[in-house]
Amino acid sequence: MTAENKVKILNVDFDFTTKENLLVELDARIGQDKKTFVVTANPEIVMEATKDQAYSTIVNKADYVIADGIGVVIASKMIGTPLPERIAGYDLLMELLRMGNEKKWSAYFLGAKNDVIEKAITTIQKNYPFLHIAGWHDGYFDWASSEIADEIAVKQPDLIFVALGFPRQEQWISQNIDTFQKGLFMGVGGSFDVIAGEVKRAPIAWQKMNAEWLYRLLKQPSRWRRMMALPDFLLKITKVKLTSRR
């Protein structure tokens, strides 16, 4: 993406794109063996980037930064440069798995608890039988060891999904991406838990109302501290908007 196709929200530069257009571009890059780093950024990630300059640099060096979270889309409208749509990270993951199945790509999965990723892999193998599972590893490993990166470098999968939660998943990708010759790398948060059936995604009606965050909060009240990032985020956006008017 060029600078003209970016929308800056606080410290993060988002790509002005739709899910349909993004998938076309990612398909082409994978077909050409172009190494690609995708960040699906929600308000929590943006807020982290405003506090941590090193993390901000990692995010903005990604090939694509996608608006994962209705709060980001609302913020873009507030500052007068509306993004076309929200692209949920989970939806993007599932589309890439579907495409991988059709095109017989290979994929590596990193993250989550061991029993969770085992269940997720079983489900993926059942639903996407033509997707080659190049390998997988749970999220508990020696960060200083290059063992996992070395395995990925040798196997050269087309898709590498990292479910370590932010900011660790983006940090791990950034730290190791120069090791690899090809592949699409994307942090996917808690998506393996959803695929494994450990966590239920919001019903379609909630998704259409852009209220997945509320559904998750009602199901997991312990997330309330994390959810506080959204009002804080919108407050900062309001301040930016007021300052620009002055």
What is the pLDDT at residue 112? Answer: 97
- Provide, rounded to the nearest whole percent, the portion of the chain with pLDDT above 90: 76
d(CA 55, CA 118): 30
* Res. 177 pLDDT band, cuts 50 70 90: very high
What is the pLDDT at residue 129? Answer: 98
Residues 111/192, Cβ–Cβ less than 8 Å: yes
Q: Is the pLDDT of residue 216 over 70?
A: no
* Residues contacting 129, CB < 8 A, separation 6+: 101
112 DSSP 8-state letter: S
Determine whether 72 is exposed, middle or buried from the number of CB atoms within 10 Å of its CB (0-12, 13-18, 19+): buried
d(CA 159, CA 36): 9
The count of residues in the chain is 246
Q: What is the mean pLDDT of residues 218-239?
A: 67
Q: What is the pLDDT of residues 11-48, one digit of tens each?
A: 899 999 999 999 999 999 999 999 999 999 999 999 99
* Res. 213 pLDDT band, cuts 50 70 90: low
Helices (H), the chain: 19-31, 43-51, 53-60, 70-78, 89-103, 114-127, 147-155, 168-176, 191-195, 204-208, 212-219, 224-227, 229-245
Which one, of 41, 42, 43, lies nearest residue 59 by Cα? 41
Q: What is the mean pLDDT of residues 117-146?
A: 97
Which one, of 178, 186, 60, lies nearest residue 111 by Cα? 186
